[in-house]
């Protein structure tokens, strides 16, 4: 294999912009952290090759990336370690990190914040680059390089042995740094002395990220979130909040005045870190954790902070070598330059003056990003003319789906939309101004585009004299749109109003119809966090201007392995088998298709109820049906299995006379409980019989079963709506919303059956998440005018 980076390395280059005084002051990111890219790269290499190849993809900190990758693979149980290897790795990590720290201080600091009369000390810079690359050196050679570097730095940087300098720092860090920078003749000390006034003026609140050594349980949870939540790589959180990692958060810094929040202390901590690396063998720590079957976490402390990798491998057979199936990493830059972090908060509150811009560059230098970074001043967007919106992120004309609402909303609201298919909107009176589609907010660029849209829509509101009274967002606390909404609301001095996902879906239709009367809504989709914190997606609601009520839900189905089940529909079908009391069939049914190990693992998880959270999602029921018939066991794209199921059903219906549908429609396999729960488990029983891999495949019977699932589900939903609604609803109006109603076959049958019962149907051309912001705005506007909570009791709550 060539030592040159893979072609995808060209896509890894990222950048950051610090915009002083902006609501969204940290913009940009790194495509390497996008979901799927690392999976694709890792699949090209063997487990032995991957760590070195991964290290080559990074211009900076490549050795630490390789080490963290090796440790993550150790955690999966697919590789082994030795004591000799561990001793060499520890020394290598210290020496490489020392060289990186030295280069930052000697070369990068003066370039980022130039000071008159100061030039880099080239002798020190040369010491950061030994003749024999450390990665190629033996253990004895590494120790010799470390001793040589220690001697040189004691003379030309510290002015004393590194251990003595460190001892003074740990006693009185701020005072010692001032004394040393004033008296020392080293270029680093003189630079620090020159920037001291600015460094002392900038204070960033600390929220320290611990290490897996100090909080293994917390990092086991973080590792699972990193693996299963694409947003965690790019917008990391520790117990729901941003945190900081770096030299100032090392374990040995415990005596280093953690209460000092200045850049002065942070810059001094980096010098102290170099002294500790030279004098303390335990200064940089590393290790691995086993997160579960074939899943491992590797971590190491490197120049910028804590680096975390998570790997998941697959073993096709006991004899075959394992292969990497999923790979994630979390780097210090995403923690330290978090859009909700301490730096972002300081940038929002800082005026874009000459002093403000200079101090912002110094703050970036202290936190040390590993990507290209520029500092900008927030500029007032140009005023729109002739009714046009500035830039390309906001539509000049009203949205085609809601150009002018039939009824004006009672408050002006900015709504930031859904996590998937994100679009934001500003609703002022009866006018709706939509942003362009940003895509899924698991992607860095989508988040950047949403930030830009918010800045532009605020400029529009000011230009047209619209006073925004609230900012609406999804109920989920970890979504990027939620965090941006909270920041924006704080800046505007208005409330941020969370809106439950399916409540917003139904509210879209009420806004478009101009309705304010209580309306029954059927919301079917893949996922939305419920008011109880669980995964919802098959909801029957009652909504009006004072709030909402959950009338019922689809019966919960287990999600074996959590979010990963949405990518592997066979897991949902296995969950259905387990729910039917047929868990013993899981292994023989799917071993040949997915591997015996995977099938046994899922069967055991279901039997023990381990990592099998429940969901009422209609989308997951479609996944289970598609997998039960053998149409899709895995899917790469959202709704891929559901589309295959619909196409199979439609093709069969197109080949048969209409009278056959009536025969299918006569079969009722659903059950409705007294508490409003609709159980559709019975709809899967005939599908599971036909899709059995050991049975002879009958394509006509499979097509008929797919059609029967759609039509029987439409019957069940209609019966559910009719029997669960409050007595004597006047008028009988039902809103159909959620991404599952993109399925034309299901939508047409539900509408026809409801109409036969005398119902009036509210529907929209875009029932999915792309229009969710309008529903959020509708709910928030009535929340503002009613001055009350926007949630009525959940009838299913205990």
pLDDT in tens, 729-782: 555 789 999 999 989 889 989 988 888 887 788 887 789 999 999 999 999 999
pLDDT of residue 242: 86
More reliable by pLDDT, 473 or 54 = 473
Phi and psi torsions of 173, nearest 5°: -60, -50
Average pLDDT, the chain: 84
pLDDT at 340 over 70: yes
Adjacent-strand bridge partners of 614: 558
pLDDT of residue 136: 81
Average pLDDT over residues 480-491: 91
pLDDT at 680 over 80: yes
DSSP of 587-651: HHHHHHHH-HHHHHHHHHHHHHT-S--EE--HHHHHHHHHHHTTS-S--SSTTHHHHHHHHHHHH
The two tokens of residue 399 are 């949205």
pLDDT at 322 over 50: yes
Residue 427 CB contacts under 8 Å (≥ 6 apart), including other chains: 405, 409, 412, 413, 415, 433, 511, 774, 777, 778, 781
pLDDT at 793 over 50: no
pLDDT in tens, 118-133: 777 777 777 667 777 7
pLDDT of residue 679: 94
pLDDT of residue 88: 83
More reliable by pLDDT, 260 or 204 = 204
The two tokens of residue 179 are 């004394």
pTM of the model: 0.55
pLDDT in tens, 258-290: 557 899 999 999 999 999 999 999 899 999 999
SS3 for 484?
helix
SS3 for 151?
helix
CA distance 389 to 397: 8
pLDDT of residue 693: 61
pLDDT in tens, 124-169: 777 667 777 787 888 888 999 999 999 999 999 999 999 999 999 9
pLDDT of residue 746: 92
More reliable by pLDDT, 435 or 690 = 435
pLDDT of residue 202: 94
CA distance 494 to 485: 11
How buried is residue 400: exposed, middle or buried, by Cβ count under 10 Å (0-12/13-18/19+)?
exposed
More reliable by pLDDT, 192 or 260 = 192
pLDDT in tens, 24-62: 888 877 655 565 678 888 888 899 999 988 887 775 678
pLDDT at 572 over 60: yes
Q: CA nearest 706: which of 622, 634, 618, 636? A: 622
pLDDT of residue 392: 33
Average pLDDT over residues 504-511: 95
Q: 616 pLDDT band (50/70/90 cuts)?
A: very high
pLDDT of residue 386: 30
Phi and psi torsions of 396, nearest 5°: -70, -35
CA distance 715 to 776: 30
pLDDT of residue 59: 58
pLDDT of residue 316: 78
pLDDT of residue 507: 96
pLDDT of residue 769: 93
Q: 22 pLDDT band (50/70/90 cuts)?
A: confident
pLDDT of residue 385: 31
pLDDT of residue 9: 36
pLDDT of residue 115: 82
């Amino acid at each position: 294999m060539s030592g040159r980076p893979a072609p995808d390395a060209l896509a890894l280059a990222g950048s950051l912009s610090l915009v002083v005084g902006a609501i969204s002051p940290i913009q940009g990111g790194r495509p390497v952290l996008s979901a799927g890219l690392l999976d694709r790269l890792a699949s090209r290499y063997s487990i032995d090759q991957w760590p070195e190849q991964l290290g080559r993809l990074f211009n900076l900190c490549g050795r630490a990336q390789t080490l963290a990758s090796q440790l993550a693979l150790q955690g999966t149980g697919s590789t082994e370690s030795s004591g000799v290897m561990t001793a060499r790795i520890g020394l290598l990590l210290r020496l490489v990190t020392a060289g990186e720290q030295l280069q930052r201080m000697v070369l990068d600091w003066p370039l980022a914040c130039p000071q008159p009369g100061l030039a880099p000390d080239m002798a020190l810079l040369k010491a950061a680059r030994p003749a024999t690359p450390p990665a190629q050196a033996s253990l004895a050679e590494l120790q010799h390089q470390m001793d040589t570097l220690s001697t040189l730095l004691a003379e030309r940087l510290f002015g004393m042995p590194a251990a003595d300098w460190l001892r003074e720092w740990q006693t009185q860090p701020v005072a010692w740094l001032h004394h040393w920078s004033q008296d020392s003749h080293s270029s680093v000390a003189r630079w620090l002395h020159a920037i001291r006034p600015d460094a002392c003026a900038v204070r960033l609140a600390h929220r320290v990220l611990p290490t897996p050594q100090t909080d293994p349980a917390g990092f086991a949870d973080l590792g699972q979130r990193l693996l299963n939540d694409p947003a965690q790589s790019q917008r990391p959180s520790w117990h729901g909040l941003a945190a900081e990692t770096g030299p100032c958060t090392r374990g040995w810094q415990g005596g280093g005045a953690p209460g000092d929040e200045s850049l002065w202390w942070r810059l001094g901590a980096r010098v102290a870190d170099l002294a500790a690396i030279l004098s303390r063998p335990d200064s940089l720590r590393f290790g691995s954790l086993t997160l579960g079957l074939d899943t491992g976490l590797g971590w190491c402390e490197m120049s910028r902070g804590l680096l975390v990798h998570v790997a998941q491998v697959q073993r096709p057979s006991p004899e075959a070598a394992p292969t990497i199936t999923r790979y994630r990493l979390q780097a210090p830059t995403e923690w330290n330059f978090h859009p909700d972090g301490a730096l972002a908060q300081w940038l929002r509150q800082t005026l874009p003056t000459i002093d403000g811009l200079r101090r912002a560059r110094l703050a970036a230098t202290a936190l040390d990003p590993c990507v290209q970074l520029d500092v900008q001043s927030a500029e007032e967007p140009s005023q729109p003319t002739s009714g046009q919106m500035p830039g390309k992120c906001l539509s000049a004309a009203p949205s085609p789906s809601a150009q002018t609402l039939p009824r004006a909303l009672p408050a002006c609201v900015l709504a930031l939309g859904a996590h998937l298919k994100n679009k934001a909107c500003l609703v002022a009176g009866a006018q709706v101004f939509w942003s362009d589609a940003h895509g899924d907010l698991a992607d860095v660029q989508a988040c950047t585009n949403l930030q830009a849209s918010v800045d532009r829509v605020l400029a529009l509101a000011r230009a047209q004299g619209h006073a925004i009274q609230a900012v609406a967002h999804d109920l989920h606390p970890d979504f990027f749109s939620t965090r941006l909404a909270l920041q924006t609301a704080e800046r505007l001095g208005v409330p941020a109003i969370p809106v439950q996902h399916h409540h917003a879906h139904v509210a879209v239709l009420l806004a478009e119809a101009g309705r304010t009367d209580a309306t029954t809504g059927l919301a079917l989709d893949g996922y939305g966090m419920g008011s109880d914190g669980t995964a919802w997606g098959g909801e029957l609601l009652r909504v009006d201007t004072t709030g909402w009520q959950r009338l019922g839900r689809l019966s919960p189905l287990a999600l074996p392995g959590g979010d990963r089940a949405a990518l592997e529909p066979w897991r949902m079908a296995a969950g259905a088998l387990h729910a039917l009391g047929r868990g013993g069939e899981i292994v023989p049914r799917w071993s040949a298709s997915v591997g015996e190990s995977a099938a046994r693992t899922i069967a055991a998880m279901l039997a023990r109820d381990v990592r099998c959270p429940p969901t009422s999602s209609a989308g997951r029921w479609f996944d289970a049906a598609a997998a039960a018939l053998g149409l899709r066991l895995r899917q790469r794209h959202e709704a891929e299995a559901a589309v295959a199921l619909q196409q199979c059903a439609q093709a069969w219906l197109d080949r048969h006379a209409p009278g056959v549908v009536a025969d299918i429609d006569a079969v009722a396999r659903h059950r409705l409980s007294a508490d409003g729960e609709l159980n559709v488990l019975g709809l899967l029983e005939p599908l599971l019989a036909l899709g059995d891999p050991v049975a002879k495949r009958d394509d006509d019977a499979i097509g008929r079963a797919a059609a029967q699932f759609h039509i029987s589900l439409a019957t069940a939903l209609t019966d559910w709506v009719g029997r669960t609604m409050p007595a004597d609803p006047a008028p009988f109006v039902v809103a159909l919303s959620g991404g599952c109603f993109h399925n034309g076959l299901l939508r047409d049958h539900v509408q026809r059956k409801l109409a036969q019962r005398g119902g009036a149907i509210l529907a929209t051309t875009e029932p999915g998440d792309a229009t969710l912001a309008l529903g959020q705005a509708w709910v928030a506007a009535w929340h503002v005018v009613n001055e009350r909570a926007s949630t009525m009791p959940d009838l299913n709550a205990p």
